[in-house]
Amino acid sequence: MSTRPDRQRNYLETERRNAYRGLDNEPVADEAERVDRQTAEKMAKALVSATSEAGKGGASSKLMLALYAAAFFIFSSFLYTRPYLRVSSSTPYKELKDTFQHAAHFVLKDTYVGQDFFNRWQWETFDDPTHGRVNYVDQEVAKQNNLSYASDTKFIMRADSTAIVPGDARGRDSVRILSNDAYDESVTILDLAHMPEGCSTWPAFWTLSQRGPWPNGGEIDIIEGVNLNQANLASLHTSPSCSMPQYRDQNGFTISTDCDAQVNFNQGCGVKFAKPSSYGDAFNAQGGGWFVMVRTRQDGVRIWFWSRNDPNVPSEIHDMPQPGLLGGPPDISPNPSWGNPEASFPIADSCDYDSHFDAHSMVFDLTFCGDWAGADYPNTSCGSNCVDYVNNNPGAFSNAYWEINSLRVYTPI
C-alpha cells in the first residue's frame, strides 16, 4: 500500500502512441515503413508477372514462379515480425514481446464468498503503518458494530458512520483484514460490487509477502486511491534493484518506474488505469466490476479491469466457474480475448522475480488521511482539514464500505 503523495504525470497521446511503438524518432520509423511498402509493391508486381509467364508453360517459368512466391512469403513474414524486433542503433522497432507469449493454465484453488472471509481471514488491529486517522477493530467488535457482515453471496466491511471521533482517540473505527493463505504464481479474480469512496478515504486491495519482513518478498497494490480519485492506481513496492520500463504493453499510464520502497518516499512503480470508472464513486455508479491479477515468473505481474457493464468482459471472468476437462476443477488461461492489461509489470534483468517476490497474503483495508490521502486532501474540494473532517462528519462515511461478491484464486496446473 503506497505511503506517499501521488506524483501523477500526464502524457500527450501522440507521445504515448510513439512510445508504445518503441520509437525514438517517428520520422525514422515512417521512412522505414515507406521503404517496406515500396519493396512489397515491387515484389507483388514481380510475382504477378511470374504467374503470367508460368501460365504460358515451360519448366523455367514455373521455377521462377516458385522462387518469387517463396521470396514474397519470406518478406511478408519479415514485415509482420519487424515491428517487434529488438531496439538497436539500426532499427526503430521494439523487442519481440507478447502479453500472452507464456500463456499458462491455472486451476481453481480457493474461493472466498460470504462467511468464508470470517472463517479464513484475520482482522488486524495494530496502529496504521501509513499514519491514518483510523482505529482498526477486531472481528468481534466489527460484527457487534455492524462493520463486518455477510450473507450467502456477499461480504461487506465498512467504516463507522455514526460516531463523532474524540480528539484523543486513535481514529475512526474501520476494518483491515488479511488472508490466512498465501499464493505465489496465480490468477486472482475479484468480483467487487462497491468500494469505499469519499473525502479523506484511502482504501486498498493488495498483497504482500507472508514471510517478509516488508518490503522483502514484495507488495502488489491491485486497487488503491484516495479522496475523490476516479482512476485506479496499481503499484509494486519491493526491495532494491527492481525497476520497470517506461513503456510497456498496457492500457494504463506509467506514473513511476522505480519499485524500490526506499526510493522517493516509497512511491513504488505505479500505473494509472486508462479505462473509465475504475475507482471511487465512478466505479460504484457502474455497479462495480472485476479486477484480475495474473502473476508468473515468466511475465511478471499483470492487472486487468472490466466495469460491470463492459460488453468485453471475458465469460470466464464474468460467469461462475465451470468444471474443467473430464470433470476436474475449474480452470482458466489468460488469452488474447482479454486484451491488454491496464497495468503490466514485466520481469526482466531489471527486476528478478525470485529475488523480489514470494508467496503473498491478500489484504483489504480502509484508512483515512495518512501519508497519501492526507497529503492529497488540500488539493480537493473536501474542506480545510482532513483530520477534522474524519472526526466530525460521521455521515460522510456512509459509502465508505467494501461489498465483495466473490474472490477466486487459481494456481498453476
Q: Which residue has the higher pLDDT, 318 or 328?
A: 318
SS3 call for 129: coil
pLDDT in tens, 186-200: 999 999 999 999 999
Q: Which of 97-111, 134-148, 218-232, 315-329 has the lowest mean pLDDT?
A: 97-111
- How many Cβ atoms are within 10 Å of 291's Cβ, its own excluded? 26
d(CA 173, CA 319): 35
CA 376, distance to chain mean position in Å, is 22
pLDDT band at 104 (very low <50, low <70, confident <90, very high): confident
Average pLDDT over every residue of 358-375: 98
Strands 172-174, 134-136: pairing is parallel
User: What per-residue confidence (pLDDT) applies to 158?
Assistant: 98
Q: Which residue has the higher pLDDT, 353 or 349?
A: 353
pLDDT in tens, 69-91: 666 666 555 554 444 443 333 34
User: What per-residue confidence (pLDDT) applies to 5?
Assistant: 39
Average pLDDT over every residue of 238-261: 97
> Is the confidence at residue 26, as pLDDT, over 70?
no
Q: Single out the catalytic residue among 219, 316, 342, 403.
A: 219
Question: Please, are residues 156 and 366 in contact by the beta-carbon 8 Å criterion?
Answer: no
Check: pTM over 0.85? Answer yes or no: no
Q: In Å, how far are 19, 334, 336 from 101, measured between CA atoms?
A: 21, 10, 10
d(CA 339, CA 244): 21
Q: CATH number for 106-412: choose from 2.60.120.200, 2.40.40.20, 2.20.25.90, 3.40.50.12370.
A: 2.60.120.200
Cell triple for 366: 480502509
Instruction: Tell me if the bond preceding 215 is cis, omega within 30° of 0.
Output: yes
> Is the confidence at residue 245, as pLDDT, over 50?
yes
Q: Where are the domains of the chain?
A: 23-84, 106-412
302-337 residues labelled b (16+ CB within 10 A) or e (exposed): bbbbbbbebeebbebbeeebeeeeeeeebbbebeee
Average pLDDT over every residue of 279-303: 97
SS3 call for 234: strand
d(CA 118, CA 147): 12
d(CA 319, CA 342): 21
Q: What is the mean pLDDT of the chain?
A: 85
pLDDT band at 176 (very low <50, low <70, confident <90, very high): very high
pLDDT band at 30 (very low <50, low <70, confident <90, very high): very low
pLDDT in tens, 106-160: 999 999 999 999 999 999 999 999 999 999 999 999 999 999 999 999 999 999 9
pLDDT band at 320 (very low <50, low <70, confident <90, very high): confident
Average pLDDT over every residue of 171-175: 98
> Is the confidence at residue 55, as pLDDT, over 70?
no
15 given a catalytic annotation? no
With cell 490521502, the residue in question is 373
> Is the confidence at residue 337, as pLDDT, over 80?
yes
185 given a catalytic annotation? no
Q: In Å, how far are 109, 180, 183, 231, 391 from 116, measured between CA atoms?
A: 14, 11, 17, 29, 32
Q: Single out the catalytic residue among 15, 31, 53, 224.
A: 224
